[in-house]
Amino acid sequence: MCSGRVDLEFVLRAFSNGMDGVFIGGCHLNECNYLTHGNYHALNMTLLCRKIMEHIGLNPERLSIEFMSSGEGILFAEVMNDFGKKVQELGPLGKSEGLDENELKSRLEEVRKLIPYIKLLKREKLALRLDKEEEYDEFYTRDEIDRLFSEVVSYYIDPAKCQACMICLRRCPVEAIAGGKKQIHVIDQDKCIKCGTCFEVCPPRFGAVGEITGEPVPPPIPEEERMIVRKSKKNKVICF
């Protein structure tokens, strides 16, 4: 499998499942077997993930990436032995960093929920090719990652503008929007992955979906108040 297919979700899921270390092996840079140069994407993803790990309190040395050919069996064995020893020295995931099991799981889950948002925000950097190893350490800075999490965008449907057209509800990839044909839509913030699909597909004439940054999202209106009341052409009120 091309190393470019190793997603950020795969790595964080492995840590969520209790793995003490994750190793990614890829072809030598500029020697891609599939002409896609996915190994550059794997490298950029790894550098990003290591900074995220540092942000949530995990030792970034628990994640490693190395590039080698299928004919370098001896090198592969040496690299794996070295990484295995390093992980043993680091000890159990979380405990060595002073994080209890529940806190560790909570932090990893919060990051995993934001993966689509992170990938969307960093898509240009993830597509770049880093040819010099000295660029690796500062490709993603600590301040950049801190801002990434402190300035997370949330999406909110304004009940005064929602026309219950159901476009955002149908297009939401994780079914985080509740509502109906005649009912004001509401975003479940616990399910929302911040992908921005609802914001993009909401008809401009309604403009019901808004972006909120650095502020709490207003609480959803009670379910009994979500039914839309429309006026007929003869100014008669029709209640659905």
* Sequence-distant (≥ 6) Cβ neighbours of residue 222 within 8 angstroms: none
What does the alpha-carbon distance between residue 107 and residue 184 come to, in Å, rounded to a whole number? 32
Same structural domain for residues 116 and 204? no
Query: Per residue in 63-113, pLDDT tens?
Result: 999 999 888 999 999 999 999 999 999 999 999 999 999 999 999 999 998
Same structural domain for residues 169 and 74? no
Same structural domain for residues 190 and 229? yes
Same structural domain for residues 163 and 86? no
Same structural domain for residues 160 and 60? no
Same structural domain for residues 55 and 145? yes
Same structural domain for residues 28 and 116? yes
Same structural domain for residues 178 and 97? no
Domain boundary (111, 133, 149) is at 149
Same structural domain for residues 139 and 187? no
**131 lies in which domain range?**
3-149
Provide φ and ψ at 81, rounded to 5°: -65, -45
If we measure between CA atoms, which residue out of 192, 110, 197 comes closest to residue 154? Answer: 192
200 by Cβ neighbours in 10 Å (0-12 / 13-18 / 19+) ranks as exposed
In 3-state terms, what secondary structure has residue 171?
helix
Q: Could you report how far apart the first and last alpha carbons of the chain are, in Å? A: 54
- Is there a contact between 3 and 46 (Cβ–Cβ < 8 Å)? no
User: Would you tell me how many other CB atoms lie within 10 Å of the CB of residue 69?
Assistant: 12
- Is there a contact between 156 and 207 (Cβ–Cβ < 8 Å)? no
User: In the chain, which residue ranges form alpha helices assigned H by DSSP?
Assistant: 8-16, 38-55, 73-90, 101-113, 115-121, 123-126, 142-150, 167-171, 197-201
Q: CATH number of the domain that 215 lies in?
A: 3.30.70.20
Same structural domain for residues 206 and 107? no
How many helices and strands (H and E) does the chain possess?
A: 9, 8
Q: How many domains, in total, are found in the chain?
A: 2
Give the dihedral sign, CA 176/181/183/185. Answer: positive
Query: Per residue in 2-57, pLDDT tens?
Result: 888 999 999 999 999 999 999 999 999 988 877 788 899 999 999 999 999 999 99
pLDDT of residue 154: 93
pLDDT of residue 235: 52
192 by Cβ neighbours in 10 Å (0-12 / 13-18 / 19+) ranks as buried
pTM: 0.81
Same structural domain for residues 199 and 224? yes
Query: Per residue in 105-145, pLDDT tens?
Result: 999 999 998 998 999 899 999 999 998 888 898 899 999 99
